Amino acid sequence: MNLDDGEIKLALYAVRDLIARRILGNNPIPPGTHRLCHNLEAASVRGSKDGAAQSDWEPEELIDTAEAAAILNCSARWVRQIRNDLDGQSISGRWAFRRQTVVEYAHMKGGTQ
């Protein structure tokens, strides 16, 4: 099977997202997933015109409650209370947040005080 550059980038995004969610959920990563990710990264670099991987297909980095609390300089309990403001997602019973959303929230709240 041959994939075009767009399909390779989309598959790479999906595999990276799977890995991030499995790590956050403390679930094992299926055997061969890291190798598949590496192969897709290599194919993406080969397929790009400038020889560098495109960043527009990067998955959003997910962080847990503790890391969000560290960014916001507050308790994990407070992060869970404001989870809707942070667009939190429950993954396997644990809350996950997009790092960029938490950082933007911290800047917004820091700028108003």
pLDDT at 16: 83
Q: Is 89 exposed, middle or buried (0-12, 13-18, 19+ CB in 10 A)?
A: middle
C-alpha closest to that of 17 among 96, 72, 93: 96
Nearest to 18 by CA among 1, 30, 7: 30
Q: Please give the residue range of the domain that contains residue 13.
A: 5-47
Please report how the helices 99-112 and 65-72 are oriented relative to each other, as an axis angle in degrees rounded to 10.
30
If asked whether residues 67 and 102 sit together in one domain, one would say yes
Q: Are residues 41 and 68 in the same domain?
A: no
Domain identity same for 107 and 75: yes
Model confidence pLDDT, tens digit, residues 46-84: 765 554 444 444 556 888 899 999 999 999 999 999 999
pTM metric for this prediction: 0.54
Establish if 52 belongs to a structural domain.
no
Whole-number average pLDDT of the chain: 82
pLDDT above 90 (res 105): yes
Average pLDDT over residues 25-33: 85
Burial class (CB in 10 A: 0-12, 13-18, 19+), 63: buried
107 shares a domain with 80: yes
